[in-house]
């Protein structure tokens, strides 16, 4: 099942910048295994949208919670 995930970055842009490499590496594992179907930032850079394939909402939530950015 596909799940849309909305990530809000928050006001701490320094944290976002520092965490971004680990965040990208984390997402790449799900891109490689086929669970990450699409991801990208919003045009105002306030957050991002992911589309995940997961067996359940709980599985999608665990993927999100494991992201270093979250």
Distance CA 44, CA 36 (A): 22
Long-range own/partner contacts, residues 13-18 (CB < 8 A, 24 or more apart): 16/69
Please tell me the predicted confidence (pLDDT) of residue 56.
Answer: 96
Please tell me the predicted confidence (pLDDT) of residue 13.
Answer: 86
In tens, the pLDDT along 1-50 reads 999 999 998 888 898 899 999 999 999 999 999 999 999 999 998 999 99
Domains assigned to the chain: 2-66 (3.30.70.1060)
């Amino acid at each position: 099942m596909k799940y849309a995930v909305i990530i809000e970055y928050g006001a701490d842009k320094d944290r976002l910048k520092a965490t971004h490499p680990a965040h990208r590496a984390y997402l790449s594992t799900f891109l490689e295994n086929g669970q990450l179907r699409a991801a990208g930032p919003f045009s105002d850079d306030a957050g991002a949208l992911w589309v995940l394939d997961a067996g359940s909402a709980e599985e999608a939530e665990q993927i999100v919670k494991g992201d270093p950015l979250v």
